[in-house]
Amino acid sequence: MPHINALLLENFRSYDSLRLESLESGLVLLTGANGAGKTNILEALSLLAPGKGLRNTSHKEWQKQGTEKPWVISALVTDDDNPVQIGTTWVPEKAKRVFHLNGAPTRTQEDVLALLNFTWLTPKEDRLFVDAASDRRRFYDRLVFQYDAAHAGRVRRFENAMRERNKILKEQGITNTTKAWLDSLEQQMAETACAIGASRQEHLRHLQDTHEKQRDTLGFSPAPTQYALHGYIETLLIDNPALQAEEIYRKALEQNRKSDRDDEATALGPHRTDFTSMLLTKNQPAPLCSTGEQKALLFGLLLAQAEALNIYKGIKPILLLDDVAAHLDADFRGNILKSLLRFGTQTWVSATGLDVLEPLPESFKHITVGSH
């Protein structure tokens, strides 16, 4: 399983330079006062894999303020005893972020993803169940993307085609000249929508199966949850074979041209889908659950995602848990930390102090942030 053994940061966020070594433990606990730089370390780790990291930000924010020297994140990663140096930095001359493996530029980002993946939980996700459906959908699509790399491209293609269709309807209307154009965009939307819906559904089945198995294997019970997708496309795909669903959606788009033009929006499609969770012990939808119960649901989801990636893709993600202890009762906290140690993947946990994480498991690596 991939494991971070050493981490080096330069000119990244609050750090001029930081070196963390001897990180052989399966559980690394980062503690320090507010503003000490804990989240910055977890963010740096998340940026060792391609993407915008756990704060979903861009390189301008990563660059340490007050210096021109580009930020560097570098780590020694071992997987089955093979050490690999993985690095990423900003190259100003190319205005581009690059990745290195053992000092040589990588050919594709997939080379890095084949070695290193991260799954995280941060205070931002605390609002997942009560936020807008669009935030939840984006969150869920990121879970699918970890599992099926083509998913993000399909979502982008669908959204581009939808935007273009909305623009034509608004600016040029439905005329003989725009008809062929609209036909072709709607065909594209129907094809990509069904592929998006199918990927989302497949991942949902895997998450649910994994979650149910984990209730027997983890050594403690994550909150029993029923996951569901609520959306036009996903429902169509349950009731119809893919090609037929595609044709039904395409026709619906054609029929809705006038109303979509009046509303300046596309009424039907995968861009309206919601992902929901239900706490089964109380038959309670997640938004009605208590703060701690929602946190427990999030943990269950994180563990199911990490294990599903392992079972179905052979990927063992490193888990990053930023400031997650708040709202958890001691029993649950103890169980979570113990089960993470058994989980077989390296986990990094941040908190303001070790006392916040008690009861502590027998073994872990403790790093006090702010004393470097």
Ligand X SMILES: Nc1ncnc2c1ncn2[C@@H]1O[C@H](COP(=O)(O)OP(=O)(O)OP(=O)(O)O)[C@@H](O)[C@H]1O
Which residues would be at the binding site for Mg ion (CB under 5 A)? 39
Looking at the Cβ atoms of 66 and 314, the one nearer to ligand X is: 66
Rounded distance between C-alpha atoms, residue 218 and residue 341, angstroms: 10
Q: Which residue has the tokens 């983890």?
A: 218
Residues that bind ligand X (CB under 6 A): 13-14, 32, 34-40, 61, 63-65, 323, 352
Question: Cis omega (within 30 of 0) on the bond before 359?
Answer: yes
Nearest to 357 by CA among 30, 67, 4: 30
Nearest to 324 by CA among 122, 115, 27: 122
Q: Contact at 8 Å (CB) between 307 and 210?
A: yes
Q: Which does 64 bind (CB under 5 to 8 A by kind): Mg ion, ligand X, none?
A: ligand X
What residue type is 308 in one-letter code? A
Q: Measured from the CB of residue 175, what is the shortest distance to ligand X in angstroms?
A: 51
Rounded distance between C-alpha atoms, residue 92 and residue 30, angstroms: 32
Looking at the Cβ atoms of 34 and 283, the one nearer to ligand X is: 34
Q: Measured from the CB of residue 135, what is the shortest distance to ligand X in angstroms?
A: 21
**CB neighbour burial string for 51-60, b if at least 16 within 10 angstroms, e if fewer:** bebbbeeebe
Looking at the Cβ atoms of 39 and 273, the one nearer to ligand X is: 39
Q: What is the DSSP string of 299-324?
A: HHHHHHHHHHHHHHH---PEEEEES-
Structure tokens at 173: 């209307």
Q: Measured from the CB of residue 31, what is the shortest distance to ligand X in angstroms?
A: 9
Q: Which does 197 bind (CB under 5 to 8 A by kind): Mg ion, ligand X, none?
A: none
Q: Which does 222 bind (CB under 5 to 8 A by kind): ligand X, Mg ion, none?
A: none
Q: Which does 53 bind (CB under 5 to 8 A by kind): Mg ion, ligand X, none?
A: none
Looking at the Cβ atoms of 126 and 307, the one nearer to Mg ion is: 126
Q: Which does 24 bind (CB under 5 to 8 A by kind): Mg ion, ligand X, none?
A: none
Looking at the Cβ atoms of 315 and 369, the one nearer to ligand X is: 369
Q: Measured from the CB of residue 105, what is the shortest distance to ligand X in angstroms?
A: 25
Looking at the Cβ atoms of 39 and 294, the one nearer to Mg ion is: 39
Q: Measured from the CB of residue 63, what is the shortest distance to ligand X in angstroms?
A: 6
